[in-house]
Structure 1
């Protein structure tokens, strides 16, 4: 990750490792509501960029950057000896406000005099502009920039009628300040003496500025919030340092990505480009988070329901009942120059909405939330059957209608992601294989919840519809020569005969017979699909394979995680152990053991996982992968409506102990310990340490659960 990013609620800061936003890093900035409220932030010492010593954001909510000076000498006269000044930049975000403190310490043996200069600016660019979009219509303008002894202020009048402003205040009056956004402090320090200067950056929209909390109080409260988050989530103890590090990092990353847009906490897709409500990403991340914080599912379902499609609107790819793809609030979306306020071009968000509601209820036993959502669920299911299935053949398919929308509308949404064996791109309408699994799971899992609510006829109808899907899946999607499923059917109902990771998602849906599940899992861990670090998105033997491709050969942790949940569900432990071991090897080579959004599909002969150049990090469903790994290892499957919790655990080679405490299940908590007796047979021992869920725990006999890898 060649940048540093911190976030709290709907405000995030992206800088380089020095902590600067500079012209050489045009995508850096301070962002909220899809707008860049700070486009320049540079620190200099005596007019020069300091030398970087260290740059850390391991705590997620606070970043610390340590710098020093270079040697300054003119005609033999030393102005500033090298490494005599230490500069520390500490920044955090609280209450939609950015705080940055610069600490300067004299580590020389003599008194020093030097200048600290900070430059800043705000261009109020829409996120789409930052990412390279070229608008056809005029944009707004910056109306003013001015400076006084207390701070700097800039104001922008948007084409969408919204006024946006940035104010920067400082706690020490500078020796010089300009309206262009430059302040200078003449610093004089005795040996070991330190001076601190704090800048506070306050973005506002239509004059509604956030409340400014005193810095020390804000940092203490922020730290407390993160400590409470960790305490509330399930906790992992293991003899695997990588697994423990990956899990702890994932839990922290998920916390930093939570945002409340008015309906409760929801995981935004990822930083820096997708800090927004994002249909499939937010829904899948909330599904992954059920074992640590199921309340997030409620917020996620709430925002999706609040923005459910109501009309036929081709510009936005909207139809009644459809769940959004992406919700933007910037100038371009609000002025109608892009169709993202919200945009509905996603084929999987709608079945995932129903799926999450069902799985949330099975996990928690909360049917009241589902009952409140029944009108939304009914409209979503109607969309699946009517608009999702355009030609009435029983398969849900997509077709782009918006001129500025997305052509491929599954999770692999790049233009080249659905490719025939002859290299031709599939033509829409396209029915993706994994989407059919989502529909099956949504209907079959919602049915028992509806029955519990007294909706027996509706429940029976969903079961019947799901079984019809299951009965016809192989006839249309199974590739006999490959012993695998095609990624999709194209507009002519021809199989798109690429071998990809998409069928792996079927494993968690329940749509596959055991023998088919075994064949799918076996192929996914074969050398053409498994790199040693994870399952590739496309087989090395398929026509479109490219290890550097975004969707045709790369490795996506979340893609692996959904497959892992399915392998666990189907009892395919050897294959699951292979995938988990690979992901852990990859995590051990990334900063902070953090799995990125994706990485390249090269195999282990390279010696390390190869980073993808523009992957989001942290990214919600990549962070959620750590939780899915732990869930798969436990073989954890709550059925709160039935009053049971199933455990079918295993441990891959190299992990001999795993304890997971405070898993939220039904009305209480569950704590479980796995340990392998390495003396003798290596039998796995399972101990339920605590169970206040009110559910009966069913432990599958683990006597054969030593999985060689």
Structure 2
């Protein structure tokens, strides 16, 4: 799917490489907010003909530029043009609920030219689920556009009684209008002269919409917001241009994906299909961001806490204390034709909420947020014990109850993702291996924090439950013949014995037997699991393997990042470096050094990585993966209770010097440089430390000095 995309807060636009939204396009291009397409057509023409694309650029995520030229005219035209005589430069950005688009025409013909520029707009106001072709349903009726001088309004009478309209303004009065939404501009240009027409496109929801600013002012404010963002995030520089660019792109992509629903900024899942709050995706992306900007985790936690479930409702797979999976705001959700208001069909979002809160405390020492979220924390723990573990076997399982919900409720949520070694699909209730790791890690990490707050009884309870889980886990999940852990237990507590990446997530939890963790680390980078570009979701020796599939053999950067955190925390530096090197190698096949949501699992021996056809890009937890590289290379573990920072760095091939500035820990900043010496040892130079924490180092470093 080839497209260009920009986003700011809750408004995003996808177009073809020319910058247009073609009529009846099959790929779901458009201007979207609140899960509704507010612009389904936007086409620019010169003398009625589509301009030819010269180039389109999106080097800065918030600003997009398209350079086009005219096709040759013919004798039948009233105002024929010589070919390539007009340059059309389209520049667009989004700020504070307004899409700003400027069209600048420059005459490169040696004589004066007169031509017609036309722009055609339409909006179908389709729900995102309809745009994607997933569902139909009872919907409203589109009304005739309303035109007045300098302004066009597209209207919709909706089924959910929400008033939706798109208001389009422009700053040129030399126009005429056709009933089908076409606005015509007559343009005269002397040689080398230019003329710019600016468009201001604003979605209105129940009569509420933004007021456009002057375009230069809006652009300046947007650029300043990015300057502020970059000042607030940890900076990385390296002697590896690929690493430096990957990290920079990840930080910028994460900024694009931030949204604020009133509780602080958090990352939506990805563009174009998932520009909404997702429990699992947003929580993992925030976890990846902890070393870069922990305030993203704060906003994510507060947002998820606000939407925490309060009752039992099977339609939404809701149970008290559960953290949501996904929320939608469109017509189908508002009329209860789909259960996403929000929908709670996720088994891992609740333990990930607890895990992120515990990790956030270690990075920030923000005990006040833990206290503020104590009611939600206790309800989430209750959900794990009461509803997550209904059969009381110490493991958390999922079971679909909604008639329109998601059958598989872990991160591998496609219907064919939990597959036995004989090729049959596992039936729920299903206990996923990584979920047990999340639960164990959350409970063991929260216990000492709760003791700080005087919650001794609850802390003791969590440690006892974690110990019981650890006791049961090995016999239930370990496959002695494979020297690996099963992906899951099925409805009969039978192991689902496919070899997958899922146990890699559990590595970071401390749940695994240390001797067996060695086998897991080595298998993750063995030939059947490691493509050369990254860890596959499934071994190429397993029955369900398919390199073109969504979850059964593809490579997901975020999946690799979770494995990396586990490899690093257990001291498996060689394996972690191999994974980083593979992912860094893969970016040569992707635009802007941007890791996509996923790519196919073909071996690197086949050449460049093979794209997955409908992968989101940018996508939050893919953008967060290079940020995890930094954390893993440092081998950093902050400890808020003991006021210490542990460093155990390891650098992959091609990286011999790594400088980190303004890394947030506690209420201060840490800046340091890691260097590989000629004898292979690593040194740490601490250039700034205002954290108040003592620095400890692992055996891989020769010295720590300031």
TM bracket (short chain): over 0.9
Contact 1:146 1:180 in 2 (8 A): no
Contact 1:152 1:179 in 2 (8 A): no
Note if 1:638 corresponds to 2:638: yes
The CA deviation string for residues 497-531 of structure 1, in whole angstroms up to 9 with x for no partner, is 10000000011111123222211010000000000
The CA deviation string for residues 447-501 of structure 1, in whole angstroms up to 9 with x for no partner, is 1110111111111111111111112111000111110000000001100010000
Correspondence for 1:682: 680
Residue 94 and residue 213 in structure 1: after superposition, are their counterparts in 2 closer, same or farther (change >3 A)? Answer: same
Correspondence for 2:363: 363
Contact 2:79 2:115 in 1 (8 A): no
Correspondence for 1:44: 45
- 1:352-431 matches, within 5 Å, as 352-431=352-431
Shift of 1:243: 0.6
- 1:227-626 matches, within 5 Å, as 227-626=227-626
Distance 2:164 2:16 in 1: 25
Distance 1:647 1:318 in 2: 41
Shift of 1:386: 0.9
Distance 1:417 1:194 in 2: 56
The CA deviation string for residues 374-409 of structure 1, in whole angstroms up to 9 with x for no partner, is 111111011001100121111101010000000000
Residue 401 and residue 266 in structure 1: after superposition, are their counterparts in 2 closer, same or farther (change >3 A)? Answer: same
Consecutive unaligned residues of structure 2, counting only runs of 5 or more, are none
Q: SS of the counterpart of 2:245?
A: helix
Moved more, 463-472 or 33-42: 463-472
Residue 51 and residue 25 in structure 1: after superposition, are their counterparts in 2 closer, same or farther (change >3 A)? Answer: farther
Distance 1:443 1:184 in 2: 64
Correspondence for 2:695: 697
Correspondence for 1:24: 25
Distance 1:134 1:476 in 2: 39
Contact 2:254 2:267 in 1 (8 A): yes
Q: SS of the counterpart of 1:402?
A: coil
Correspondence for 1:120: 121
Shift of 1:248: 0.2
Note if 1:68 corresponds to 2:66: no
Shift of 1:682: 2.4
Residue 459 and residue 76 in structure 1: after superposition, are their counterparts in 2 closer, same or farther (change >3 A)? Answer: closer
- For the aligned residue pairs, the C-alpha RMSD in angstroms reads 1.4
Shift of 1:683: 2.0
The CA deviation string for residues 523-572 of structure 1, in whole angstroms up to 9 with x for no partner, is 00000000000000000000000000000000000000011011111110
Correspondence for 2:108: 107
Q: SS of the counterpart of 2:145?
A: strand
Distance 2:197 2:331 in 1: 34
| Count of aligned pairs between the two proteins | 702
Distance 1:353 1:24 in 2: 38
Contact 1:323 1:344 in 2 (8 A): yes
Shift of 1:79: 3.1
Residue 557 and residue 328 in structure 1: after superposition, are their counterparts in 2 closer, same or farther (change >3 A)? Answer: same
Shift of 1:704: 8.3
Moved more, 542-551 or 693-702: 693-702
Contact 1:362 1:639 in 2 (8 A): yes
Contact 2:648 2:701 in 1 (8 A): no
The CA deviation string for residues 552-603 of structure 1, in whole angstroms up to 9 with x for no partner, is 0000000000110111111100000000000000123211100000000011
Shift of 1:76: 13
Residue 399 and residue 635 in structure 1: after superposition, are their counterparts in 2 closer, same or farther (change >3 A)? Answer: same
Distance 2:131 2:333 in 1: 14
Shift of 1:141: 1.5
Residue 76 and residue 51 in structure 1: after superposition, are their counterparts in 2 closer, same or farther (change >3 A)? Answer: closer
Shift of 1:702: 2.4
Q: SS of the counterpart of 2:156?
A: strand
Shift of 1:653: 1.4
Distance 1:256 1:151 in 2: 29
Distance 1:560 1:171 in 2: 49
Residue 153 and residue 443 in structure 1: after superposition, are their counterparts in 2 closer, same or farther (change >3 A)? Answer: same
Shift of 1:71: 2.4
Contact 1:68 1:85 in 2 (8 A): yes
Shift of 1:676: 1.2
Distance 1:147 1:75 in 2: 30
Distance 2:72 2:656 in 1: 52
Q: SS of the counterpart of 2:80?
A: strand
Correspondence for 2:60: 59
Contact 2:47 2:79 in 1 (8 A): no
The CA deviation string for residues 394-435 of structure 1, in whole angstroms up to 9 with x for no partner, is 110101000000000000000000000111000000000000
Correspondence for 1:155: 155
Distance 1:24 1:276 in 2: 23
Shift of 1:296: 1.2
Moved more, 610-619 or 151-160: 151-160
Shift of 1:703: 4.7
TM-score norm. by structure 2 comes to 0.98
Contact 2:358 2:446 in 1 (8 A): yes
Distance 2:55 2:466 in 1: 55
Contact 1:16 1:25 in 2 (8 A): no
Contact 1:147 1:178 in 2 (8 A): no
Shift of 1:164: 0.7
Distance 1:346 1:50 in 2: 46
Distance 2:75 2:136 in 1: 50
- 1:79-94 matches, within 5 Å, as 79-94=80-95
Shift of 1:78: 10
Shift of 1:175: 2.7
Distance 1:700 1:208 in 2: 56
Contact 1:242 1:588 in 2 (8 A): no
Distance 2:77 2:129 in 1: 51
Distance 2:31 2:232 in 1: 30
Distance 1:637 1:616 in 2: 31
Shift of 1:606: 1.6
Distance 1:171 1:311 in 2: 52
Contact 2:474 2:512 in 1 (8 A): no
